[in-house]
Amino acid sequence: MFTNNFDPVAFELFNISIRWYSLAYIFGIIFGWIYCKKILIKTATIQNLFDDYISYLIIGIIIGGRLGYVVFYNFSYYLNSPIEIFMIWNGGMSFHGGLIGIIISSYLYAKKNNQNIFIFLDLVSTVAPVGIFFGRISNFINGELVGKVTNSDWGVLFLNYDNKLRHPSQLYEAFLEGIILFILINLIHFSKYNKIGTCSYMFLILYGCFRIISEFFREPDIQIGYLIGYISTGTLLSLFMILAGSIIYFKKKNEI
């Protein structure tokens, strides 16, 4: 048994609380930027465009992640308190919403610069698991998105949630959606069979599968519960990811 009593605040700077979750976003973006610039990008054109693309990406993540949480997970609450939509410091971000934000911002930037959108989405797909890893570790530190009750030896007591031992589902996700997904997508990226768009649709499919597995160990959001049977909102959205990835795969396959 492990007792989770971590402080969600990493440190304070000039009386401003810097939270682990904020650092996860910062570290993920910095790593992604460096890894893409130093390792992944091979053409001068994309090298020159990538710095400006990061700005689009950050905006897409923040707006998409926030609106995704509002629409997918707590719509009725924010409908009655719309001003709180802008209070992102109170928490509430959605991965799937952030993904939609990334796709839209990438489309706009690619169109503006007459580039193939999948060039940018492939790069994001290859480095995104690192940001996801940091994010899930932050979820664990914060004692949020907790797992279901368990009697296993590795059960964790989240003091800010209740007094029951629970699966550390955040760590399961960090392992599957972070470490394993990073390895698999990078193997695909550096494979001689990799083509434009491959990393993008494989990210959608693999993340969707890993997220669905993790959802079996994770408590559904208390304000929603399960939609049908044991299908949570996260499971449903991940099924759409797998469907979207499969559609892109068959479309790319027919282009050959």
What does the block give as tokens for 195?
Answer: 């083509």
For residue range 48-60, what is the model confidence (pLDDT) as tens digits?
Answer: 999 999 999 999 9
Token pair in block for residue 172: 């399961």
**What mean pLDDT is predicted for residues 154-173?**
93
Which H helix or E strand runs over 181? Answer: helix 181-189
pLDDT digits (tens, 9 = 90+) for 62-118: 999 999 999 999 898 898 888 989 888 777 899 999 999 999 999 999 999 999 999
pLDDT recorded at residue 23: 92
| pLDDT of 133 | 97
Q: At what angle do helices 233-255 and 95-112 cross, to 10 degrees?
A: 30
Provide the pLDDT for residue 139.
94
Write the pLDDT tens digit of every residue in 165-217.
999 999 999 999 999 999 999 999 999 999 999 999 999 999 999 999 999 99
Phi-psi region of 229 (alpha: psi -120 to 50; beta: other; left: phi over 0): left
Q: Where is pLDDT greater, at 256 or 85?
A: 85
What angle, rounded to 10 degrees, do the helices at 117-142 and 95-112 form?
150
Report the DSSP pairing between strands 16-19 and 9-13: antiparallel
**Any bridge partners for residue 218, and if so which?**
147
Name 175's Cβ contacts closer than 8 Å, sequence gap at least 6. Answer: none
Q: Which pLDDT tens digit goes with each residue over 223-253?
A: 899 999 889 999 999 999 999 999 999 998 8
- Dist CA 251 CA 91 (whole Å): 38
Model confidence band, residue 256 (pLDDT cutoffs 50, 70, 90):
low
What are the residue ranges spanned by the domains of the chain? 2-191
| pLDDT score for 123 | 98
Determine what percent of the chain is predicted with pLDDT higher than 70.
100
Question: What's residue 18's pLDDT?
Answer: 85
Average pLDDT, the chain: 93
Q: Quick one: pLDDT band at residue 128, thresholds 50, 70, 90?
A: very high
